[in-house]
Amino acid sequence: MTDRPKETDGWPFVSADGKELWFTRWHRGTPGIFRSKMAAGTWQKPELILSQFAAEPSLDTEGNLYFAHHFFRKGKMIEADLYFARKR
């Protein structure tokens, strides 16, 4: 889909309390949102939160997630929409 390396990480966001690091990582050929939690002074192994064209995460003060959803055609991004996911 794209020629981005699988190791590409970016668009980091650290929660207000400094305990969560959210970022975009290429996953199965598309951007996905990952989260790493801080425990005992060390960032833990990142976990996949949203896959397939989700990127550029940020949180509000209530922990709700905002992110971009990208649409690709022939390996080229043609559109991006903003989405919101309410914290349960």
Whether the per-residue pLDDT at 4 is higher than 60: the answer is: no
Question: What's the half-sphere exposure (Cβ side, CA atoms, 13 Å) at 88?
Answer: 0
Domain assignment present for residue 40? The answer is yes
More confident residue, 12 or 30: 12
Which domain range does residue 18 map to?
Answer: 9-85
Could you tell me if residue 57 is inside a domain?
yes
**Is residue 25 in a domain?**
yes
Tens of pLDDT, residue by residue over 52-61, are: 889 999 999 9
pLDDT tops 80 at residue 28: yes
Q: Percent of the chain at pLDDT above 90?
A: 61
* Count: domains in the chain: 1
Q: Is residue 33 part of a domain?
A: yes
Q: 1 or 58: whose pLDDT is higher?
A: 58
